[in-house]
Structure 1
Amino acid sequence: MRVAIAGAGAVGRSIAEELLSNGHEVLLIDKSPREIKLDELPGAEWLLADACEIASLEDAGLERFHVVVAASGDDKVNLVVSLLAKTEFGVPRVVARINLPKNEWLFTEAWGVDIAVSTPRLMSALIEEAVTPSELVPLLAFPSSNANLVSIMLDDGAPWVGVPSAAVPLPADTALVAIVRRGSVVVPSDKTSLAAGDELLFVTTEAVEEELSELLTGEG
């Protein structure tokens, strides 16, 4: 998979390092010479250019990429990059970083964003999960589909402990996509039974999140 990352700061480089380790091709774009650090990521391609300019993205051959990640520390830049990637170059998947929570409402399909990742929201969610592990915690929003990724940890008293995951009557528009169990990821199947301490990851909609929470905790 070919991935272009606009913004070669600490966040962009970290994403690139992870993608490279998984065998993907990565191009990092940044207009600041001090962010071009060839020695840190020798396996990546680099482009010293302004990712908000169409000419720069043409030089990058953005139409050849499967994913664009707008990862700069400036929300305005990330919105412009997302819009250009989607409308001018037809990139199939655009992921955008949100730096300021007040700007979340802008990061939608109208601006070319398929997945919006809010750093403050993720940090808040992780804190909530640590403090109240048996409550439903929103992790990620998918603007193009109106769906959310949420998690909940089953405690000893949860009503579905010991029950096969396929037997849990989930609300409409809800799917259990993964179980994190003792540090490992389990892909749920018909034979997978839920256990105390499992962290369940669901894709669902906001309309049924309360129903899902009540189902899993037995409260309500």
Structure 2
Amino acid sequence: MKVLIAGAGAVGRSIARELVDNSHDVTLIERKPEHIEPDSIPAAAWVAGDACELSLLEATRLETFDVVIAATGDDKVNVVLSLLAKTEFAVPRVVARVNDPRNEWLFDESWGVDVAVSTPRMLASLVEEAVAVGDLVRLLKFRSGDASLLELTLPDNTRWGGRPVRKLDLPRDAALVTILRGNRVIVPAPDEPLEGGDELLLVAVPEVEQEIRDLLLEG
């Protein structure tokens, strides 16, 4: 996969290293000379310049990339790059970093953003997930629609203990994606029995979240 990352600060470099380690083709764009350190990630291509400059994006041949990650520390830059990537270069997937949660409303498909990543929101979700056994926690909202990634940890005394996944009559517009049990990642086959302490990852729209709570936690 061919990935362009705007912003070679600590966040951008960390993402680049992870992607390079997984054999992806990575290009970093950075406008601050002090952040340009090719030796730190020699397998990546480095470009000096402003990621909002149309001429630079054209020279980089942005239309050939599969993913653009707007990871700078400036929300204005991230929004503008996302819009250019999607509307001018038809990049299939655009991921944008949200630095200030007050700006999160801007990071949607109207500005070319497929996935917005807000560090404060993610940290808050992870804190909730860590302490909220027996509740439904929204981990991530997908930008292409209203659906969210949800987590629910079944209580130890759940009535679903020992019952197979096929007995779960989830509402429409909801799906069980995977079951986390200890160190295991379990594909939810119909005959897989549920256990107390299972972490269920689901995708669902907001309108059915209460139905999911009632189904998995009541009784």
Aligned residue runs from structure 1 range 10-21, under 5 A: 10-21=10-21
Tell me which amino acid in the other structure corresponds to 2:13.
R
SS at match of 2:113: coil
Are 1:136 and 2:144 counterparts?
no
Are 1:123 and 2:123 counterparts?
yes
Q: TM-score, normalised by structure 1?
A: 0.94
Q: TM-score, normalised by structure 2?
A: 0.95
Q: Deviations over 1:144-169 (max 9, x none)?
A: 22211111111212232222223211
Q: 1: CA distance between counterparts of 2:180 and 2:56?
A: 41
- Offset of 1:117 from its aligned partner? 1.2
Bigger mean CA offset, 160-169 vs 24-33? 160-169
List, as ranges, runs of 4+ consecutive aligned residues in structure 1 with deviation greater than 3 Å. none
Q: Deviations over 1:94-146 (max 9, x none)?
A: 11111111111111110001111111111000111122222111111112222
Bigger mean CA offset, 94-103 vs 76-85? 94-103
CA contact (8 A) 1:133 1:152 kept: yes
Tell me which amino acid in the other structure corresponds to 2:160.
W
> Partner residue of 2:53?
53
CA contact (8 A) 1:171 1:212 kept: yes
> Partner residue of 1:34?
34
Tell me which amino acid in the other structure corresponds to 2:43.
G
CA contact (8 A) 1:28 1:45 kept: yes
Q: 2: CA distance between counterparts of 1:33 and 1:133?
A: 47
- How many percent identity over aligned positions? 55
Are 1:96 and 2:76 counterparts?
no
Alpha-carbon RMSD across the aligned residues, in angstroms, is 1.3
Point out where structure 1 has 5 or more consecutive residues left out of the alignment: none
Count residues in correspondence: 219
- Offset of 1:201 from its aligned partner? 1.0
Q: 2: CA distance between counterparts of 1:120 and 1:61?
A: 33
> Partner residue of 2:111?
111
Point out where structure 2 has 5 or more consecutive residues left out of the alignment: none
1:191–1:43 Cα change, 3 Å: farther
> Partner residue of 1:70?
70
Q: Deviations over 1:146-203 (max 9, x none)?
A: 2111111112122322222232111111111122221232222223222222211111
CA contact (8 A) 1:27 1:45 kept: yes
